[in-house]
């Protein structure tokens, strides 16, 4: 029998903290502030500055994260971003920590239906590093003060090594580099909604938690091409409808853009054309392509929104060409209104010679 004396945290409904806990043969037989005489003969263990807490059987409780986050500012009860920013302004002057941590923000529970932005955090807390964590712990936004501290310590190569190395092998295998991914999740390549319906095939993918905030570019550089006229094709898709500002691009001397049609997770011309070919072959009694059948049946016969995107007339003079996919307004010159984009199957084809007057 052992008698523990010190801070005994019960974690009961009233969060009682007692002075004594008695353990006998592996069972807790007593907790309380006074030690009954019948337990006085037990081996006495003084906790001193330590505390005794119940054992944890839930391996996903995130106890350390809970403690860290709730030692800061809890904004989970806020019903608007304006209220969150007010809470920050009230909290920061009282916070003596070098880093301000706020937890519990959500685009679902605030009136604006969007996550608070870095610019808004800068206005509320311009002089101290601030780290705002979403309620699920998987997403955050920081103010410029903290970003300036981190910018030389965290880069895309670190992200690739730290987050899901297997998926990022897709980038390496296909020669792509993610040069910008502001406000996007860190997976870069995913599988599950390939236009063929094959759940295992991967593709470039970028996704934010709300519309209009993603700034993403993935590029591949060619440095030893034969001078000539080239054609670039790719399969791509993006969210929302209309002109969203997501592009397949090619840049030799001039930047050429071809906008990705926005179909969300349905339809797309790759699916539509395959479905038409299957129907026509069936009506004519001709052999039906198994590849067309797979594409036509993808997503329960509704397609995944993939389109064929083409850039013609790419003039390469010095053997160098950069191409890829982007929704970064600073690069494309067009605002991005969507939430995500995907791209795969880039094919670069030399289709002709440069005009005689331009050949070196």
The Cα–Cα gap between 4 and 147 comes to 46
Q: Determine the CATH number of domain 156-265+304-358.
A: 2.60.120.260
Of 15, 28, 13, the residue nearest 4 (C-alpha) = 28
Q: Which of 63-72, 104-113, 278-287, 340-349 has the lowest mean pLDDT?
A: 63-72
Most confident of 162-166, 207-211, 263-267, 347-351: 347-351
59: confidence class by pLDDT, cuts 50, 70, 90: low
pLDDT at 250 over 90: yes
Q: What is the pLDDT of residues 141-166, one digit of tens each?
A: 999 999 888 876 654 444 444 445 55
Q: What is the pLDDT of residue 157?
A: 44
What is the per-residue pLDDT for 158? 45
- Round to whole Å and give the CA distance between 330 and 216: 10
Give residue limits of the domains in the chain.
2-52, 66-150, 156-265+304-358
Instruction: Provide the pLDDT for residue 237.
Output: 96
Inter-residue long-range contacts of 289-293, CB under 8 Å, 24+ positions, other chains counted = 291/196
Report the alpha-carbon distance of residue 120 to residue 117 in Å, rounded.
5
Domain 66-150: assigned CATH number: 3.10.310.70
Give the pLDDT confidence score for residue 20 in this predicted structure. 96
Superfamily holding 2-52: Urease, subunit C, domain 1 (2.30.40.10)
The average confidence (pLDDT) of the chain is 89
Share above pLDDT 90 across residues of the chain, in percent, rounded to a whole number: 70
Q: What is the pLDDT of residues 41-58, one digit of tens each?
A: 999 999 999 999 887 666
Instruction: Please check the confidence at residue 243 and state whether its pLDDT lies above 80.
Output: no
pLDDT band at 240, cuts 50/70/90? confident
Query: What local confidence, expressed as pLDDT, does residue 306 receive?
Result: 97
Report in angstroms the alpha-carbon separations of 327 from 77, 150, 235, 239.
34, 24, 15, 12
Per-residue model confidence as pLDDT tens digits over 274-332: 999 999 999 999 999 999 999 999 999 999 999 999 999 999 999 999 999 999 999 99
Between CA 112 and CA 337 the distance in angstroms is 17
In this prediction, residue 160 carries a pLDDT of 44
- pLDDT of residue 204 exceeding 90: yes
Average pLDDT over residues 21-44: 94
Q: Give residues with Cβ within 8 angstroms of 252, minimum separation 6.
A: 314, 315, 316, 317, 318, 320, 321, 322
User: What gap in Å lies between CA 135 and CA 103, rounded to an integer?
Assistant: 6
Mean pLDDT confidence for 335-350: 95
Residue 156: the pLDDT is: 46
């Amino acid at each position: 029998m052992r008698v523990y004396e010190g801070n005994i945290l019960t974690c009961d409904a009233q969060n009682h903290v007692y002075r004594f806990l008695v353990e006998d043969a592996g069972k807790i037989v007593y907790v309380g502030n006074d030690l009954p005489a019948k337990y006085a003969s037990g081996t006495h263990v003084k906790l001193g500055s330590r505390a005794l807490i119940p054992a944890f059987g839930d391996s996903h409780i995130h106890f350390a994260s809970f403690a860290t986050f709730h030692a800061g500012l809890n904004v989970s009860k806020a019903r608007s971003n304006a209220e969150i920013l007010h809470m920050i302004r009230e909290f920061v002057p009282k916070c003596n920590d070098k880093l301000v941590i706020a937890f519990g923000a959500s685009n679902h529970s605030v009136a604006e239906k969007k996550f608070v932005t870095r610019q808004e955090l800068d206005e509320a807390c311009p002089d101290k590093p601030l780290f705002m964590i979403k309620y699920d712990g998987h997403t955050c936004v920081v103010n410029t003060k903290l970003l300036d501290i981190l910018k030389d310590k965290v880069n895309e190569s670190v992200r690739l090594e730290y987050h899901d190395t297997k998926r990022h092998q897709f980038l390496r295998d296909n020669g792509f580099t993610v040069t910008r991914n502001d406000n996007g999740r860190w997976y870069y390549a995913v599988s599950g909604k390939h236009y063929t319906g094959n759940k295992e095939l991967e593709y470039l993918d970028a996704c934010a938690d709300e519309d209009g905030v993603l700034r993403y570019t993935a590029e591949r550089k060619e440095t030893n091409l034969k001078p000539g006229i080239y054609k670039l094709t790719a399969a791509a898709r993006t969210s929302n409808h209309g002109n969203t500002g997501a592009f397949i691009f090619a840049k030799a001397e001039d930047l050429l853009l071809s906008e990705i049609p926005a179909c969300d997770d349905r339809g797309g011309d790759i699916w539509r054309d395959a479905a038409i070919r299957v129907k026509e072959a069936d009506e004519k009694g001709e052999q039906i392509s198994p590849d067309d059948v797979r594409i036509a049946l993808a997503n329960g016969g509704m397609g995944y929104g993939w389109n064929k995107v083409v850039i013609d007339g790419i003039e390469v003079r010095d053997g160098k060409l950069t191409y890829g996919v982007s929704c970064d307004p600073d690069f494309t010159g067009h605002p991005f209104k969507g939430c995500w984009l995907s791209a795969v199957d880039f094919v670069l084809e030399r289709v002709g010679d440069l005009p005689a007057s331009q050949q070196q």
